[in-house]
Structures are given as structure tokens and as C-alpha cells.
């Protein structure tokens, strides 16, 4: 069975950093992305990356602060989050098998992890 497992979430003060990981098993996908959902808000796109890393897309709200990367040998994806602010508080989800489109758009694929909680305090 295909599984995506996120880890690395936790509680951090504003201005701090966290690195999220997404480990995949059962299947290998070309494209991966990260999404997040805060309490009372809609799920939103965060970042996405292609197999080679040649295509990377970020949401405007995280540009310059977050970095997405992957280690194909480990079948693992990462999201390095720096300069965190309370507005970044959310459950972060790993996504696989999405599509890249023009103008920095990544359409989510059908595979999702269970999510990892990120809480940023003031």
C-alpha cells in the first residue's frame, strides 16, 4: 500500500525554524508537494518539487522563508521552514503525483500523508 508519512512538526517560537520530512513507501512518484491547513481555514498550497529538483514552486506567502528539497535515494522529501510566524501554524501535509502548470501553479495529486502539526508561538 502507498504511504506518505510526515514528521518533524512541533512547537517553535516566532523567528525559529523547523524541517519537515515526508517518507514514501510502496511507490515512487515524480512530483511531490506540501500543503497546509490552519484551524478554520481552507487547505492551501505551500511548495512543490519535481524529480530532479529542476522545477520548484512556492506559495507567495512562504517565498524566501521555506525551502523544499528531496533525497531520491532515501525516497524522502523535506520542507525547511525558517523565519516562522504565527500565521504558519497549521497541519502540514505531504502530497504526491501532482502536476506542474504555468505561472507557478501545482495541482495536487491523489496521495496524501497523515499530516504533522506545526505551531508557532508569539
- Over 80: is that where the pLDDT of 29 sits? yes
- According to DSSP, the β-strands at 10-13 and 116-121 are parallel
Give the whole-angstrom CA distance, residue 90 versus residue 55: 25
Give CA–CA dist 92/46, Å, rounded: 9
Question: Is residue 15 classed as helix, strand or coil in its secondary structure?
Answer: coil
Q: 77, 88 in Cβ contact below 8 A?
A: no
State pLDDT tens for residues 31-77: 999 999 999 999 999 999 998 899 999 999 999 999 999 998 999 99
pLDDT of residue 103: 75
More confident residue, 26 or 36: 36
What percent of the chain has pLDDT above 90? 87
* pLDDT for position 93: 98
Positive/negative CA dihedral, 106, 112, 113, 118: positive
Amino acid at each position: 500500500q502507498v504511504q506518505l508519512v510526515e514528521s518533524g512538526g512541533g512547537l517553535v517560537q516566532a523567528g525559529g525554524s523547523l524541517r519537515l520530512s515526508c517518507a514514501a513507501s510502496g511507490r515512487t512518484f515524480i512530483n511531490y508537494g506540501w500543503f497546509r491547513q490552519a484551524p478554520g481555514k481552507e487547505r492551501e498550497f505551500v511548495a512543490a518539487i519535481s524529480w530532479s529538483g529542476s522545477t520548484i514552486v512556492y506559495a507567495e506567502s512562504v517565498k524566501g522563508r521555506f525551502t523544499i528539497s528531496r533525497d531520491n535515494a532515501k525516497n524522502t522529501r523535506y520542507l525547511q521552514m525558517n523565519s516562522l510566524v504565527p500565521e504558519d501554524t497549521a497541519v502540514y501535509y505531504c502530497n504526491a503525483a501532482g502536476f506542474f502548470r504555468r505561472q507557478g501553479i501545482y495541482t495536487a495529486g491523489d496521495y496524501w500523508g497523515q499530516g504533522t502539526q506545526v505551531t508557532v508561538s508569539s
